[in-house]
Every structure is written in structure tokens, then in C-alpha cells.
Amino acid sequence: MKRILLVEDDIFLTDIYTTKLKEAGFSVTVAEDGEKALRKLGEEKPDLVILDIVLPQVNGWEILEKIKSEPKLKGLKVIILSNLGQKEEVEKGMDLGSIKYLIKAHYTPSEIVKEIKEII
């Protein structure tokens, strides 16, 4: 079973995405803020990280930079799932190593699961 770390501070969205991902056969761990995400990444390496950018404590950009600079996390697949949709933000996410940048408002939870299945 593929393991996903969902880094999202919106409880409502967390519930929806977790339910949809579990229905699709994934094991899901949730981190509600950046510090918890970094701690969980230190404990175990998931197959994929779904990362929001606007988070309490440590933001998604900092988490992405940490993932890319940490030797044991190198190669970890990251999808950014954010409402930040400016061209500069999308480019920054891709430049920092995200394999996909999904804007929440443009995708239903089912479409997001479909995108994830294509990646892992």
C-alpha cells in the first residue's frame, strides 16, 4: 500500500482528501502544520507528500526546501496542492522540485486522487 503524507491545515479539506485517498487504497498520514510535517518526515519516508503552501509554523516553501536539501529525503515525490495560483508561485514550486502544482479551486477531490494515481 502506497503511503501519502497530507500536509493541510484546513480540517474540512483534510477530511475530504483523506477519505477519498483511503477509498482509492492509499495509506494516509496527516500533518496540520509545517512543524508536524517535518517531524513526520523525520520518522518515516512516505511515497508521496501532498503539500499545502500556506501553513502554520513552517510554510510549504520551507518544507519543500528541506525535503530537497535532506539527503535521506532526496527523490521524495511532492505535489503542491494550494490555492496560491499565481504564475510566479507555480514556477517557484516547480523550481523547488515539486512534480506537480495543483490549484485547489481547479480540481475536485476525485480529480486530485486521479492525478495522484497517475504519479504513484
CATH number for the domain including 43? Answer: 3.40.50.2300
Residue 25 pairs in a beta bridge with none
Is 90 exceeded by the pLDDT of residue 105? Answer: yes
Residue 42's pLDDT band (boundaries 50, 70, 90)? Answer: very high
Residue 74 pLDDT greater than 90, yes or no: no
Q: What is the DSSP letter of 87?
A: H
Q: Which domain range does residue 61 map to?
A: 3-119
pLDDT at 49 over 90: yes
Mean pLDDT of the 72-100 span: 95
- How many domains would you assign to the chain? 1
pLDDT value of residue 85: 92
The DSSP result for 18-51, as a single string, is HHHHHHTT-EEEEESSHHHHHHHHHH---SEEEE
**Residue 87: pLDDT above 90?**
yes
Whole-angstrom CA distances from 65 to 6, 11, 26, 59, 93 are 17, 25, 25, 10, 10
